[in-house]
């Protein structure tokens, strides 16, 4: 039986209607288009991560996002209303359609924001919001988005602990790049003493989780300095070397260690926090139905409105495409 936490079959779904809901032509925050056709070169992405009010606000604030719209997707009922969605008899999830400029951001950056800003392990709910419409979904456009989404899901499920400053997968400093291993980049704005401390922590953390005590390399462009200090070694010399290199570097220092170890890597973060396996659905994008106009940019129109958005606190180890190429 379909209901709050069970999806209906096509035969059980509500019939819906042929007429589309009317929404404003302009985004209430940016003033950009809400309806296609969008400017040439723009790309689209669709994410469901619980109540779409907070999710939309999170996405419209990201750099490179041209427009956002909330709606319903992934079910059977054509042009559903919000009231129908809440019955659980449409099969749709509440989603945000993100229109973005790939010259200014990347699909990977959107995926990173998606994973870090909700709990993708909760099945047919998101925190206090229970129902099939609140399930975690990614609807992809084309094979490249599908492959990126699947890869990011696997990476997030296997995410490991991170260190502040270098390893926390914060806005633009992810520490694990696909195919390359562990990478820590300290911004030049940090003091060299803080940079040295962060890099030393990275060094010790890496060696804690490796049976092969890989050397940590500190490099700037083609210049490389190596430290072969093992786990049990205190790091004052290492700190001094990093501090000196940082002081001499006008840009930034990268510390890297190849991920070729065979030893245990410690408990994965999602499991460590007693969270289950990721339940996010990843499927090809189908029809997107706009939600009612009052839902569009709701938290801009109602600044103190409800926002149930809450992440797991686990960083997503994914490199936005622009960083992988740099």
Delineate the domains of the chain, giving CATH numbers in brackets.
43-158+272-314 (3.30.1060.10), 176-257 (no CATH)
Radius of gyration of the chain (CA): 22
Query: What pLDDT shows up at residue 274?
Result: 85
Of residues 154, 156, 23, the one with CA closest to residue 97: 23
220 pLDDT above the threshold of 50: no
Query: What pLDDT shows up at residue 241?
Result: 53
218 pLDDT above the threshold of 60: no
Sign of CA dihedral 252, 258, 264, 267: positive
Reported as a single tens digit per residue, the pLDDT across 70-126 is 999 999 999 999 999 999 999 999 999 999 999 999 999 999 999 999 999 999 999
Reported as a single tens digit per residue, the pLDDT across 18-33 is 999 999 999 999 999 9
Query: What pLDDT shows up at residue 197?
Result: 52
Query: What pLDDT shows up at residue 159?
Result: 86
Q: Tell me the pLDDT band of 50, cut-offs 50, 70 and 90.
A: very high
| Residue percentage of the chain with pLDDT more than 90 | 59
For range 288-301, the mean pLDDT: 98
List residues bridging with 282 in a β-sheet.
138
Reported as a single tens digit per residue, the pLDDT across 153-204 is 999 999 876 543 333 333 333 333 333 344 444 444 444 455 555 555 545 4
Average pLDDT for the chain: 77
Q: Tell me the pLDDT band of 321, cut-offs 50, 70 and 90.
A: low
Give the Cα separation of 226 and 249 in Å (integer): 16
Query: What pLDDT shows up at residue 268?
Result: 83
Residue 207 host element (H or E): helix 192-208
Reported as a single tens digit per residue, the pLDDT across 227-252 is 333 333 445 555 555 445 544 444 44
Annotated catalytic residues are: 51
C-alpha angle 68-73-77 in degrees, rounded to nearest 5: 135
């Amino acid at each position: 039986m379909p209901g709050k936490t069970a999806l209906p079959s096509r035969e059980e779904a509500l019939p819906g209607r042929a007429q589309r809901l009317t929404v404003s032509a302009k985004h209430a925050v940016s003033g950009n288009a809400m309806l296609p056709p969008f400017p040439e070169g723009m790309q689209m992405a669709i994410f469901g991560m619980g109540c779409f009010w907070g999710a939309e606000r999170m996405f419209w604030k990201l750099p490179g996002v041209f427009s956002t719209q909330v709606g319903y997707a992934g079910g059977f009922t054509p042009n559903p209303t919000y009231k129908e969605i809440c019955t659980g008899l449409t099969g749709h999830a509440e989603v945000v359609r993100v229109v973005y400029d790939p010259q200014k951001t990347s699909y990977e950056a959107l995926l990173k924001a998606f994973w870090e800003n909700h709990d993708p392990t909760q099945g047919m709910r998101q925190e206090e919001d229970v129902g099939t419409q609140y399930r975690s979904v990614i609807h992809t456009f084309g094979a490249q988005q599908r492959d990126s989404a699947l890869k990011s899901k696997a990476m997030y499920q296997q995410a490991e602990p991170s260190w502040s400053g270098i390893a926390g997968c914060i806005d633009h400093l992810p520490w694990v790049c696909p195919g390359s291993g562990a990478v820590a980049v300290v911004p030049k704005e940090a003091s060299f003493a803080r940079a040295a401390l962060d890099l030393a922590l990275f060094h010790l953390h890496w060696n804690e989780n490796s049976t092969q005590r890989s050397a940590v390399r500190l490099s700037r462009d083609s210049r490389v300095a190596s430290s072969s200090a093992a786990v049990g070694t205190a790091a004052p010399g290492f700190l001094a070397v990093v501090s000196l290199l940082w002081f001499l570097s006008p840009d930034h220092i990268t510390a890297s260690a190849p991920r070729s170890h065979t030893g245990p890597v410690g408990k994965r973060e999602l499991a460590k926090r007693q969270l289950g396996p990721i339940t996010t659905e990843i499927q090809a994008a189908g029809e997107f139905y706009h939600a009612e106009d009052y839902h569009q940019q709701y938290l801009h129109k109602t600044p103190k409105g409800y926002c149930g958005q809450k992440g797991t606190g686990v960083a997503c180890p994914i490199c936005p495409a622009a960083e992988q190429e740099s």
